[in-house]
Amino acid sequence: MHYRDPLRLPNVSIKWNRRHNASSTHPSAVEVYITYNGKVKIFSTGLCLLPSEWNKGRVTGRVDALQLNQYLDQLLIDIWKVINKMVEEKRINIFAIPIRLKKLRVSDIDLFEFMRKRAEIRCYGKADDSIERYNRFLRRFKDWGKITSLNDLTEKNVIELDKYLIEKKMVAKSRWNNWHRFLNSFIMDAIDEGYIQKNPYRWVNIDRGDENTGIDNYLTSEELRQLSEAQMPSDRLERVRDVFVFQCHTCLAYKDLKDFKSSDIENVDGHQLYRGKRGKSGIEFTIPLLPKALEILAKYDSQLPVISNVKYNKYVKEVAEAAGIKKKLTTHWARHTGATMLLNAGVPMQVVSKVCGHSSTKMTERVYAKLLDKTVIEAVQKVEDKI
């Protein structure tokens, strides 16, 4: 009686033009061909060559022939590493070789170098402040240092990252927008490249924060007046203060503030109107320019001294401190402040929606209704206090 050794080694080879469809103008695939116990597994090497570019199992007649042959040699070495590991495990499954091959090769990829290269592509054509957000994430993520390879991109480690950010007292919206959102984008790139098979964010429920988070971040009328009239300690902060006040009186988001052109101002029945489309959504807005906004425009010869969003957010906090306001301002506070002023002045919701460039009044109501309720309560409370 003859017994077949179940762990005899598979036969591995590289084949070209298996389908016999190549011609002088039509390339054919170079494939890995593995046979074992009467079974066959074939998968692509990623190369397609013309007849003149393949001879006796080697790439030839190309300027990159040396590199391609080195690639194929390394591929065979890696395949045998996988097979040898299967031998140690006492079970050879040739159909699992491609998946295990990817896992083996992923461990050789520098995660940070991969993320850096992907960031260069993702940042192409973006504004300086957007590029800085990517760079800031990469610096902080590398400093954290708990995820260093593509194999570390697991549900467990995503949860560990979230716990770390919670310990740093970061709110949910900030954790998602400044950390998880960026990491998730690189994970999707790795999936597209075939380096990893699944996205851990699909199974991990990361709190992205309430859509209304931050609507309480606005200045009252008294605080805005205090900010507008405060003496700034430097010309730099005075310019930042003026831009912020202009933003409060126009409800412009930063992107639209940066794109502001005085040439788009129209005179309609004696009123100055500024029309445009939101850079974020492309939705049209119409803004009547209030006297304070026109005053600031005149001060700077209709050329607003807008700086990068990163520096703007940094300096506006110094402006608040100089004005004696104990609130950590950001550029988006100005938009909320402007919308709140209009609503509390009795301007109809549909008008505020048009000024803000919202797609519908429902969006305006969803974002500002809670805030409006709060200011109404505060107003009534003042009346009660007087009574």
Convert the chain into a string of H (helix), E (strand) and C (coil): CCCCCCCCCCEEEEEECCCCCCCCCCCEEEEEEEEECCEEEEEEEEEEECHHHEECCEECCCCCHHHHHHHHHHHHHHHHHHHHHHHHCCCCCHHHHHHHHHHHHHCCCCHHHHHHHHHHHHCCCCCHHHHHHHHHHHHHHHHHCCCCCHHHCCHHHHHHHHHHHHHCCCCHHHHHHHHHHHHHHHHHHHHHCCCCCCCHHHCCCCCCCCCCCCCCCCCCHHHHHHHHHCCCCCHHHHHHHHHHHHHHCCCCCHHHHHCCCHHHEEEECCEEEEEEECCCCCCEEEEECCHHHHHHHHHCCCCCCCCCHHHHHHHHHHHHHHCCCCCCCCHHHHHHHHHHHHHHCCCCHHHHHHHHCCCCHHHHHHHHHHHHHHHHHHHHHHHHHHC
pLDDT in the model for residue 383: 62
The mean pLDDT value for 335-355 works out to 82
Could you report the per-residue pLDDT of 171-210, keeping only the tens digit for each?
888 899 899 999 999 999 888 877 777 899 988 999 987 5
Q: Check: CATH 1.10.443.10 for 221-386?
A: yes
pLDDT above 80 for 1: no
Percent of the chain with pLDDT over 70: 87
* pLDDT confidence bin for 385, thresholds 50/70/90: low
Q: Are 195 and 353 in contact (CB under 8 A)?
A: no
pLDDT in the model for residue 386: 65
Could you report the per-residue pLDDT of 54-79, keeping only the tens digit for each?
999 999 999 999 999 999 999 999 99
pLDDT above 80 for 362: no
pLDDT in the model for residue 212: 47
pLDDT above 60 for 80: yes
Could you report the per-residue pLDDT of 217-260, keeping only the tens digit for each?
788 889 999 999 999 999 999 999 999 999 999 989 888 898 89
Q: Where in the chain is the domain with CATH 1.10.150?
A: 111-202
pLDDT in the model for residue 164: 95
Instruction: Give how far the C-alpha of residue 381 lies from the chain's centroid of Cα atoms, to the nearest Å.
Output: 43
At the topology level, CATH places domain 111-202 in DNA polymerase; domain 1 (1.10.150)
pLDDT in the model for residue 381: 66
CA distance 228 to 222: 10
First to last CA, the chain: 108
pLDDT above 50 for 290: yes
pLDDT in the model for residue 244: 96
Query: Among 25-29, 162-166, 363-367, which is the least confidently predicted range?
Result: 363-367
Best mean pLDDT range from 157-166, 306-315, 370-379: 157-166
Between residues 4 and 331, the one the model is more confident about: 331
pLDDT in the model for residue 353: 78
pLDDT above 60 for 38: yes
* pLDDT confidence bin for 2, thresholds 50/70/90: very low
pLDDT in the model for residue 284: 84
pLDDT in the model for residue 367: 61
| Residue at 160: amino acid letter | E
CA distance 152 to 154: 6
* Mean pLDDT of all residues belonging to the chain: 86
The mean pLDDT value for 286-314 works out to 92
Query: What is the token pair recorded at 130?
Result: 């957007």
Q: Where in the chain is the domain with CATH 1.10.443.10?
A: 221-386
pTM above 0.75, yes or no: no
Could you report the per-residue pLDDT of 128-159, keeping only the tens digit for each?
777 888 999 999 999 999 998 888 889 999 99
The mean pLDDT value for 99-116 works out to 81
Between residues 340 and 323, the one the model is more confident about: 323
CA distance 277 to 152: 42
Is the sign of the CA dihedral 183, 189, 191, 196 positive or negative?
Answer: negative
Best mean pLDDT range from 49-58, 200-209, 264-273: 49-58
